A and B are shown apart, each in its own frame.
Chain A
Amino acid sequence: MNRVICLLSLRESAIWIFPLLCFLFAWVLLSTAPLRYYDPALTLFGVILGGLLAFRIFRDSPGVRPFLFSRAFSPSRLFTVRWLFGMGVLASVWLVVAILIGLGIRQSVQTSLFVNGWYPMIRFMELQCLFGFITASLLFYQGTAFFLTLYYFEGRRRFKGWTRVGRILLTVFSSLYVILGAVGLGAVLITTGFYDNFDNTLHPLTLSYGTVPTLVVVFAVPALVQTLLVPFAGRYCYKNQEIES
């Protein structure tokens, strides 16, 4: 049964994700600039990958929902397997990027095609770019999955009494999250701007000591919290939502 849900998710997402992944892996191999701790381009790939993947997996057209939600699997199973499938895809992509960099495939391409002199010195140091890629893809995967699930849940449910209070609080927190996200993005742009202020002739991946904790607090912690909370919230929403016929 889990296999059926995975195959359905694969069919819905593959046609969109596959071209993006080809482009991503080509970029990782061919980008001549050293990959930074929070590389803007790789982060953007993470944002698009996470958001698009969740959108394709969790968005059902209204007519398909009665079909899916009346099959022989429970809504909790449907959410859990879909969520795990998405996490599996993300983890596989992170692994492939890590392999391309860590096993020296990127180094071979860079040295043979572009005669890039930074290698092998920065080969393993470039693995730090995974931090930004992983956190960005996780944040947008969890965020999109959560908002889509919440959208269907809210759209069908009547809110009374305490649930109405809960809904208001949820809206406030969601708005705060978006605002904080925008502030965080600004912070990243400013902190990554510090790169230009360093003398990069000795080492291309020099990093301000203040940047790491900022990035961890602004991105890694929310990504981790989201990853822990979204499965519970999503399962609850799937189980209690009203399905239109």
Chain B
Amino acid sequence: MNPIEFQDVCHTFGTGTDKTLAVDRLSFSVPQGSVFGLLGANGAGKTTSIRMMMGHLRPDAGTVRILGRDPMDQDESLRRRVAYISENMQLPHWMTIPETARFCARIYPAWKHDLVEILADRFHLSLKKRYDEFSKGQRRAMCILLALCQNADLLILDEPASGLDTIARRDFLSNMLEFVCDGERTVLFSSHILGDIERVVDSVAMMKSGRLLLSGELDELKEDVRKNLEDMFVDTIGRDNQQQ
């Protein structure tokens, strides 16, 4: 069983003449223990797909399965096993890192207490500051810290490194690799920064206008086309533009 499975999933926003097809017959699966990169330009349907994975949006057609279950069931035992960072996620403004950790520790049995201080130190986050006293990048780092300490089976991260500086981004990526090194955990993340994705992912999927253009293991794809990820991305998008 793959931790994430999409089968002919469609989603439309708006009604009548304002209708926009955000996701069009999307099918892909993410293998267990892999780091999966979801690529696409703005409006490609990445965030919509991720929202459907989290049960925040109901698909119009097709099936979504997360850890073998339908996320729309909103089952609490499933939610305990999934860590999520949305594109614009914020925490309650008054929360400090220890307060947030206490909050989360009560609802996640596998919470890693010892990791809180280690990660806070690595991301240069003060334990005394409130969420609204942090800079934009530090707030993002705090969200990443929570996701990693949750010790979940599956991490779903929507543009997790946006707003982080180069060093913090590198720290985040190395922590993420540490997190999945046991081969049991799975990470899906979307990003515009292709260099980041190339450095850590095993498999990628490229989306455009809600459709899947390309999907597979990164090494195999690179071997086929003999190009780096950025060139591959530009080529794939360009070829699709020409076909249209």
CB of B91 within 8 A of CB of A64, answer: yes
B 5-27 binary contact with A (CB < 8 Å = 1; else 0): 00000000111000000000000
- Check if A39 is an interface residue, CB within 8 A of chain B: no
CB contact list, B50-101 vs A, under 8 A: 50-51, 54, 56-58, 74-76, 79-80, 82, 84, 86-92, 94
Per the bound structure, the CA–CA distance linking A124 and B10 in Å amounts to 65
CB of B56 within 8 A of CB of A243, answer: yes
Chain A nearest CB, measured from B35 CB (Å)? 20
Per the bound structure, the CA–CA distance linking A77 and B57 in Å amounts to 18
CB of A158 within 8 A of CB of B15, answer: yes
Per the bound structure, the CA–CA distance linking A160 and B88 in Å amounts to 29
Per the bound structure, the CA–CA distance linking A71 and B75 in Å amounts to 11
Residues in B neighbouring A63, C-beta threshold 8 A? 88-90
CB of B106 within 8 A of CB of A1, answer: yes
CB of B86 within 8 A of CB of A73, answer: no
Closest chain B residue, CB of each to CB of A7: B103
CB of A4 within 8 A of CB of B79, answer: no
Residues in B neighbouring A71, C-beta threshold 8 A? 79, 104, 107
Per the bound structure, the CA–CA distance linking A244 and B54 in Å amounts to 11
Most chain B CB within 10 A, of A11, A66, A243, A244, is at: A66
Per the bound structure, the CA–CA distance linking A242 and B143 in Å amounts to 21
Per the bound structure, the CA–CA distance linking A72 and B104 in Å amounts to 9
- Check if A126 is an interface residue, CB within 8 A of chain B: no
- Check if A76 is an interface residue, CB within 8 A of chain B: yes
Q: Count residues on chain B whose CB falls below 8 Å from chain A CBs.
A: 32
User: A-side binding surface: helix, strand, loop or mixed?
Assistant: loop
Chain B nearest CB, measured from A1 CB (Å)? 5
CB of A4 within 8 A of CB of B103, answer: yes
Chain B nearest CB, measured from A55 CB (Å)? 15
Per the bound structure, the CA–CA distance linking A160 and B16 in Å amounts to 10
Residues in A neighbouring B191, C-beta threshold 8 A? none
Per the bound structure, the CA–CA distance linking A26 and B92 in Å amounts to 32
CB of A160 within 8 A of CB of B15, answer: yes
CB of B14 within 8 A of CB of A158, answer: yes
Chain B nearest CB, measured from A154 CB (Å)? 14
Closest chain A residue, CB of each to CB of B79: A72
CB of B106 within 8 A of CB of A3, answer: yes
A 58-87 binary contact with B (CB < 8 Å = 1; else 0): 000111101101111111110000000000
Per the bound structure, the CA–CA distance linking A215 and B144 in Å amounts to 54
CB of B15 within 8 A of CB of A74, answer: no
Given A64-B91, A76-B74, A245-B86, is A158 in contact with B13 using a C-beta cutoff of 8 Å? yes
Closest chain B residue, CB of each to CB of A66: B86
- Check if B138 is an interface residue, CB within 8 A of chain A: no
Q: Which of B56, B90, B92 meets A8, CB within 8 Å?
A: B92
Per the bound structure, the CA–CA distance linking A62 and B74 in Å amounts to 20
A 216-245 binary contact with B (CB < 8 Å = 1; else 0): 000000000000000000000001001111
CB of A61 within 8 A of CB of B90, answer: yes
Per the bound structure, the CA–CA distance linking A222 and B57 in Å amounts to 34
Residues in B neighbouring A62, C-beta threshold 8 A? 88
- Check if B158 is an interface residue, CB within 8 A of chain A: yes
5 nearest A-B residue pairs (beta carbon): A63-B90, A243-B56, A245-B86, A66-B86, A72-B80
Q: Can you sample 29 A-B contacts with CB below 8 Å? A: A1-B107, A3-B106, A4-B103, A4-B107, A8-B92, A11-B92, A12-B92, A63-B88, A63-B89, A63-B90, A64-B91, A66-B86, A67-B86, A70-B54, A70-B84, A71-B104, A72-B76, A72-B107, A73-B76, A73-B79, A74-B75, A74-B79, A75-B74, A77-B76, A158-B15, A239-B74, A243-B56, A245-B51, A245-B88
